[in-house]
A = this chain, B = another copy of it.
Amino acid sequence: MAKDAKPKSGWKQDPAAVRADILRIATEMFARTGLSGTRIDEIAARTKTSKRMIYYYFGDKTGLYAQALEAAYAKVREGERQLELEGLAPDEALARLVGFTFDHHRRNADFIRLVMIENVHNAAYVRNSSVIKSLNEEAIARLRALIARGEADGLFRKGLDPVALHWKISAFSVFNVSNQPTFSSLYGDDIFSESGQSDLRESVVAMILRYVERS
């Protein structure tokens, strides 16, 4: 197993792994059934450890939830950091960013579902997390730089607001995942098939590019 872990000199017990195990299962469960819908006992049953350890490491249910949320945000932004947009022309960079976001959210449905749950709770935990906030400022900064390049090159129109642009990209990419259950049960799931999603992705990228382009 993952015993090779990192610091702390060679422990046989592996608290870091235990913590990570709990967090992994908790994330999954909270994403699946929400905060009040999730049972600590069920999380405990699925981990390799016991309920007591959840309280030992995370204090209480909301502490566990808050950390799961923070870890999920961190993981997602970490993924985005992989993108190398600087070498590309602004329009290509934006196309890539949009397409990436669309794919990425699809692949990280648990994260999107946690965000939904956060919204049901009026973002009570996001509000209190400076970690999450700074992660997201990073995303806006990246977009702002991209817009500046695009304007300078005369490819993008003037006056684009990075937050408003992020809103549009997110609207598509988040809705696609967050509302899949109701949407597919009402209108069928053709749109969520591989080919449906690839069409959607293409049109989303195109819509955003047309929105920013000059003229």
Contacts and interface: CB of A to CB of B under 8 A. Distances in A.
A180 B119 CA distance: 7
Contacts of A176: 167, 171
Contacts of A120: 33-34, 37, 113, 116-117, 120
Chain A, interface size category, equals 35 or more
Interface string A100-141: 000000000000010111111111001100001100100010
Main secondary structure of the interface of A (DSSP, over half): helix
Interface in A176-208: 176, 178-188, 190-191, 196, 199-200, 203, 206-207
- A122, A123, A176, A182 interface centre (most CB from chain B within 10 Å): A182
Given A182-B118, A186-B126, A191 B163 contact: yes
Contacts of A174: 175, 179
